[in-house]
Chains A and B, each alone.
Chain A
């Protein structure tokens, strides 16, 4: 198990790159395993996602039924079904809400232990989050999508590239979401109590990320501004639009490229913030 277990520190005899890749992989694995222990919470959360799936699906289909031509925001009814149910599945994969771990560790002073580790905190948390997302993809994503596909006419992908592009888009979405959450949590380095910023994030991310309604229902200028000026649509709306094939192949690819841009920007920003925070950090607690 040498080099495979995140809890065992070993001095690598292999090359430094291979060493850090192995460490990263081990951290991803431990993030995955951690979430496999929350079995009951997974079941309860999935049930809730499915109830909200029914709610949003019926409402959007009623909107479509009342629209001339039946395509609100350019979505056919079967595309709306895809949008709603894949959205309910992805919600916990990208983990829009409920991550205050870093803020809590900063507040209590536990973050000092993170700083002593030979892996940078940003890297370690990213790896754990990717493991969590992989677990979410297997347990939280599939049930709502299956229920949605059984109860409603769901659009199946018609282009060969949609499925691989969707999976890539989900991976990038997890990184974008992680970057945002890390930055929001990192405000605790300065504020001690990050509850306010976390609340603002919870509020903004759902609506402006495209969870409650497709962002294309907004006036076009607003939607474009949101996409270009904020990372929020890159978290949910982009992977969902890719899956629902809302746009042609070129724009589909372009949206994913935009997502990638935001992922890089946010990770760089988080690294800079972390570095500055470390220089001024006064550890809480005694």
Chain B
């Protein structure tokens, strides 16, 4: 209980600091939505040139894009801050976090309350609603369950990727932009039907790392389309389990990383 109150105090202090620079806050709020708007726009622009990409129509592809957008916006809102870890490790700010009697990860997340990313979550789910209406989905109880779970599973999976890429900083402080290849790269990868990628690249990202289960497999299960790549129909329903597995891996790596951390000293 006392712990919760401490977190609430941290969040409250951040909120007050955010709202004291109102103009900056508004610009950041709208720029953040803009980023997701442009992601969706990119898909629309590509479909201007053709009516099928990788064997999928615009509504079908947009369903995948929107599950990713909603999931990514949610993940970025909740744990996106963690990618500042390399800054904290380099500057030694992490020491201050570790000496407090609270969890390191929640503190880091509350060090910069991302209210500016909130509108983007709303937009992400808005696009998902539009994409669902554009497709003719044969609603069964299983599919209703899947569509409620899929964006959250996507968010959990992508959050795990955020934490994993950030943990890299414990071992390699100068990892710079490397993590973006998997966080933002993962978002871009899952924004299109994975049939477009070459076999080796797809094998690595989609199956070895599990990105196929973020939006591609759930979308197929919702649409009732057989997978041209040969996975069975229930693969879409495996998404929450893959997300949980990713979260476990991320938690283990994070803990190992925290134990491995050596302060830069000052």
Residues of A within 8 A of B (CB): 38, 40-41, 44-45, 47-48, 51-52, 54-56, 58-63, 66-68, 72-73, 193, 195-197, 199-200, 202-203, 206-207, 212-213, 217-218
Contact = CB atoms under 8 A, between A and B. Distances in A.
B27 interface: yes
Given A40-B172, A62-B54, A73-B49, 14 more contacts: A38-B174, A40-B176, A41-B176, A52-B188, A59-B192, A66-B49, A66-B51, A66-B53, A67-B50, A195-B28, A203-B31, A203-B35, A207-B42, A218-B48
A197 B174 CA distance: 27
A52 B38 CA distance: 17
Interface string B31-51: 100110010011001101111
A217 B174 CA distance: 37
Q: Interface of chain A, helix or strand or loop or mixed?
A: helix
A203 B30 CA distance: 11
23 contacts: A47-B181, A48-B177, A48-B180, A51-B181, A54-B198, A54-B201, A58-B197, A59-B192, A62-B53, A62-B54, A62-B192, A66-B49, A66-B50, A66-B52, A68-B50, A193-B21, A193-B24, A199-B28, A199-B31, A200-B27, A203-B31, A206-B38, A217-B45
B50 A72 contact: yes
In the A-B complex, the 7 residue pairs with the smallest Cβ-Cβ separation, listed nearest first, are A196-B27, A66-B50, A72-B49, A62-B196, A40-B174, A41-B176, A44-B178
Interface of B: 21, 23-24, 27-28, 31, 34-35, 38, 41-42, 45-46, 48-54, 172, 174-178, 180-181, 185, 188-189, 192, 195-198, 201
B31 A196 contact: yes
Contacts of B31: 196, 199-200, 202-203
A143 to B, nearest CB: 14
A68 B49 CA distance: 9
Nearest to B31: A199
